[in-house]
């Protein structure tokens, strides 16, 4: 791996203020997550409190989708409140560094976990640019105080919540200017993540970090068995939905909508898939009748795309049986067939010994390239995860190589930005196995803008000598 120089963030502004140690410590687990409030489900206060519970759970290590699912179930939230909770919680994740820094500047002492999460949710709404602010500032403050009052873990802090948010409204710009002297608040990523992006991508680090804080587009993959892109664009136009083609099978909707509102989704005409992820199936170069292994398949985006392009004999393997079930659901919706196998890709116990013509190894990784879609990842990952996951994926690749037929191709994919998991891994693998490296995009950087409206993926393609 090439060593690149580390850039440090330069600022002509005064030195960043030190936060009190109490604000920098890890937050304690949230209490009483099952408590039912008397708040009306259509009130913003209800959604703020639900989102705050989910955010507090992320701060103790739970992934945001799981945290939200728990809150939805426990609070018996109706669909509209679920949508609002999800929107607030995702905004909060993208602004968490700034919000926690602001709380550190304004709160008299470190708030309890649920209070801190509630304040962070409110600040995420209050700091949204005016043009896209979903609620009036005074509504946010009023409803946050109402939410605080409605829960036993936050009720005592109601006065402090009110004081902090009103102070923020009064001193907004000065507080933001001070907070943003901290890299954590300026970029909304932990320091180790900032250092890692700067080291790996010294030219593009700012664009990568900024793009990771934006909401992702809704990109669809047109099922080549059922429609062409031109036909599907005409369908969208007839439905009054603006969209454009951004890849051979990729269509981006101008305005994201719920899956249920996507024309043809239920009938399998389209699937939701990032434009960068849609490169995998064509790169694999599968022909009808080939034996194909998708070794880390769930939820099946790439599996299904391969089968939309060729009538292959495909085995979809995944270590997680619950996630594997989602591959089955996607295959069914699209009218496709594959053999599903719950097993670990670094073991060979499940293999019948018949070599595969093509292998897709979309290995487990830090997912550092898909933070705009999963903004909680940056707060959940630890620096040491990279080495641990790279070690596992090396084992997976070595094991899969023996299953590849002579002349066959293996496509190695990650959704990581870290070279240790991607290019360094690919280079070391090629040396270990004397594998021929074929043309592939390498690292796709998620720098944003219309030309790069894709996640951060890495592709390396290998061929086994015949």
Ligand X SMILES: C[S@@+](CC[C@H](N)C(=O)[O-])C[C@H]1O[C@@H](n2cnc3c(N)ncnc32)[C@H](O)[C@@H]1O
List interacting residues with ligand X (CB under 6 A).
Answer: 277, 296-302, 317-320, 323, 344-346, 362, 364, 415
Smallest distance from ligand X to CB 322, Å: 9
Token pair 């249920």 in the structure block, residue:
260
Q: What percentage of the chain's residues is helix, strand, coil (to nearest 5)? A: 45, 15, 40
DSSP letters of 35-87?
A: PPP-S-TTSHHHHHHHHHHHHHHHTTT--HHHHHHHHHHHHT--HHHHHHHHH
Kindly give the interhelix angle for 44-58 and 64-75, rounded to the nearest 10 degrees. Answer: 140
Is 121 annotated to bind a ligand? Reply is: no
DSSP letters of 187-242?
A: H-S-HHHHHHHHHH-TTTHHHHHHHHTSPPPEEEEE-TTT--HHHHHHHHHHTT--
User: 47 with 81: CB under 8 angstroms?
Assistant: yes
Q: Which of 204, 188, 196 is nearest to 372 (CA)?
A: 188
Distance CA 386, CA 368 (A): 10
Is 434 annotated to bind a ligand? Reply is: no
Q: Which lies closer to ligand X via its Cβ, residue 6 or residue 347?
A: 347
Smallest distance from ligand X to CB 279, Å: 11
Q: Which lies closer to ligand X via its Cβ, residue 52 or residue 246?
A: 246
Distance CA 126, CA 172 (A): 9
Options 121, 304, 365, 415, the catalytic residue: 415
Q: Which lies closer to ligand X via its Cβ, residue 106 or residue 457?
A: 457
Smallest distance from ligand X to CB 303, Å: 7
Smallest distance from ligand X to CB 217, Å: 18
Annotated active-site residue 304? The verdict is no
Q: Which lies closer to ligand X via its Cβ, residue 112 or residue 344?
A: 344
Is 159 annotated to bind a ligand? Reply is: no
Is 300 annotated to bind a ligand? Reply is: yes
Is 297 annotated to bind a ligand? Reply is: yes
Q: Which lies closer to ligand X via its Cβ, residue 23 or residue 395?
A: 395
Smallest distance from ligand X to CB 324, Å: 8
Pairing of strands 270-272, 218-222: antiparallel
Is 364 annotated to bind a ligand? Reply is: no
The gap from C-alpha 346 to its chain's centroid, in whole angstroms, comes to: 25
Going by the annotation, the residues of the binding site for S-adenosyl-L-methionine are 296-302, 318, 362
**Residues with catalytic roles:** 415
């Amino acid at each position: 791996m090439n060593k690149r120089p580390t850039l440090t963030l330069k600022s002509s502004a005064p030195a960043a203020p030190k936060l009190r140690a109490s604000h920098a410590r890890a937050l304690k687990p949230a209490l009483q997550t099952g408590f039912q409030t008397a708040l009306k489900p259509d009130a913003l206060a209800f959604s703020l409190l639900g989102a705050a519970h989910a955010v507090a759970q992320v701060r103790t290590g739970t992934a945001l989708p799981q945290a939200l699912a728990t809150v939805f179930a426990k609070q018996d939230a109706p669909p509209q409140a679920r949508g609002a909770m999800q929107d607030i919680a995702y905004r909060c994740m993208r602004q968490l560094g700034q919000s926690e820094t602001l709380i550190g500047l304004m709160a008299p002492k470190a708030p309890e976990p649920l209070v801190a999460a509630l304040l962070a949710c409110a600040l995420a709404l209050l700091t949204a640019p005016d043009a896209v602010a979903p609620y009036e500032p005074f509504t946010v403050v009023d409803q946050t105080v109402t939410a605080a009052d409605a829960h036993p873990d936050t009720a005592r802090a109601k006065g402090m919540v009110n004081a902090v948010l009103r102070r923020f409204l009064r001193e907004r710009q000065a507080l933001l200017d001070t907070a943003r002297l901290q890299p954590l608040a300026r970029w909304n990523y932990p320091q180790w993540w900032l250092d890692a992006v700067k080291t790996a991508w010294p030219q593009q680090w700012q664009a990568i970090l900024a793009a990771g804080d934006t909401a992702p587009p809704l990109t669809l993959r047109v099922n080549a068995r059922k429609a062409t892109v031109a036909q599907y664009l005409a369908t969208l136009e007839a439905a009054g939905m603006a969209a454009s083609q951004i890849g051979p099978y990729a269509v981006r909707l101008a305005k994201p909508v719920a899956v249920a509102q996507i024309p043809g989704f239920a009938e399998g005409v389209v699937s939701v898939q990032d434009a960068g992820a849609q490169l995998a199936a064509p790169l694999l170069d599968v022909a009808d009748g080939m034996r194909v292994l998708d070794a880390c398949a769930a939820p099946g985006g790439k599996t299904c795309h391969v089968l939309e392009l060729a009538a292959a004999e495909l085995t979809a393997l995944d270590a997680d049986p619950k996630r594997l079930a989602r591959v089955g659901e996607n295959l069914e919706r699209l009218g496709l067939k594959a053999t599903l196998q719950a097993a670990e890709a670094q073991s060979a116990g499940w293999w019948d010994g018949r070599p595969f013509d093509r292998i897709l190894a979309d290995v487990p990784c830090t997912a550092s390239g898909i933070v705009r879609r999963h903004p909680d990842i940056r707060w959940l990952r630890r620096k040491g995860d990279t080495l641990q996951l790279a070690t596992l994926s090396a084992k997976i690749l070595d094991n899969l190589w023996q299953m590849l037929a002579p002349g066959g191709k293996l496509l190695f994919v990650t959704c990581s930005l870290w070279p240790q998991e991607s290019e360094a891994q690919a280079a070391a693998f090629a040396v270990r196995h004397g594998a021929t490296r074929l043309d592939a995009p390498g690292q796709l950087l998620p720098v944003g803008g219309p030309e790069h409206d894709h996640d951060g993926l890495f592709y390396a393609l290998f061929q086994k000598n015949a």
